[in-house]
Amino acid sequence: MKNYLSLTDLNAALAVRDLSDPAAGEHALQKLLNDVVQALETRWRVPSETHRLNPLVATRDNYDRLGYSPGAVTRDSRYSRHVSPTVMLRSHTSAGIPALLDSLRAVEDRYDTLHVLPGLVYRRDAVDRHHVGTPHQVDLWRVKSRGLLGLAELEELMALVAEAVLPGCKWRATPTQHPYTSHGHQLDVLVGGEWLELAECGLIATPILRAAGLEPRRWGGLAMGMGLDRALMLRKGIDDIRLLRSADPRVQSQMLDLQPWRAVSLMPPMRRDLSLVCDSAADVETLGDAARSALGDSAEVLASLEVLANTPLAELPAAAATRLGMVDGQANVLLRLTLQALDRTLTVAEANSLRDRVYLALHEGPVKELIAG
């Protein structure tokens, strides 16, 4: 059964600024995206079209028309933000692709264009220094008729994007699968001695073309999806995704270019542990999303949320289960919150108040054990 967003949560999600959109103000994300697009345009000598689409999309376009199976776990309300039985906040910018391909059905002349679909996507994700519930993504689809694109062009796409994001970097391609591509690959880059994912790509799958009324013998292309937040963090050497939206002038001034990050003095973190009674199916993604919602405008202070332990009812001592008032299907979850404002030091009272808000939102047991203070 799907759970639908409340009007309050929907409005809050839609109010988040899209850093990739110049209409909302200048940001380094835009400069990085421009570098990538210009590199592809220059090498391929093809025009590009940028599509900034409504984040509210048909569930069918987000999943079914991109080849996701009816039972795909990503459809679950634990991970996607559904608005109604047929509408959702897009979980990836690829949701704009079916309508784009539909629009090409009447094209009879030769066609070769790079389509750029940037914007926010909406997920229920873990809370840590590398993840947020509204990350930025871009889909880069080169669609061509009368002269198909193959594996050589796919490798060239990966090389061009890796070089544009991290000039001079080493990269590798590892095979993977996506429902809307064939010959799928994950593009990794070597940073600090560690291989990190930058993007995923492949050839446009023939069922996706056929579903849009495009004959695969005439039409084909390349498809890539890339997380822009991760790409910018790698380019500038940033280790905390919250810095991309920081209101601190020392940080904001550095979010206007692609120069290496110059560290500023951050405020000390404060940690709070919570013992909760939750549904046994709860995980770090669903708990993180619920914590963000509970904190509202203060969510940026939540630097990370870790699940230290998840003990099902059957594995707890009887006395502990009785004390907590637990029932079948529940678990005792030990959480650790790391609270850290980017521009000031939190007081103990503020940290405890934030902890209590998270506790009251996530705890499902009848017995509350908040610590005073």
Q: Output Rg (C-alpha) for the chain, integer angstroms.
A: 23
pLDDT tens digits, one per residue of 330-347 = 999 999 999 998 878 889
Fold of 270-362: Alpha-Beta Plaits (3.30.70)
How much is the pLDDT for 343? Answer: 77
| CB-facing half-sphere around the CA of 165: CA atoms within 13 A | 29
What residues are paired with 272 via a beta bridge? 337
How much is the pLDDT for 373? Answer: 41
pLDDT tens digits, one per residue of 99-154 = 999 999 999 899 999 999 999 999 887 777 788 889 999 999 999 998 889 999 99
How much is the pLDDT for 355? Answer: 94
**Per-residue b or e along 136-145, where b marks 16 or more CB atoms closer than 10 Å to that residue's CB:** bbbbbbbbbb
How much is the pLDDT for 1? Answer: 57
Its pTM stands at: 0.82
Residue spans of the domains in the chain: they are 7-236, 270-362
Residue with tokens 């509350």: 368
DSSP secondary structure string for all residues of 274-325:
EEEEEETT--HHHHHHHHHHHHGGGGGGEEEEEEEEEEEGGGS-HHHHHHHT
Residues of the chain with pLDDT under 70: 1, 265, 370-373
Q: To which CATH superfamily is domain 7-236 assigned?
A: Bira Bifunctional Protein; Domain 2 (3.30.930.10)
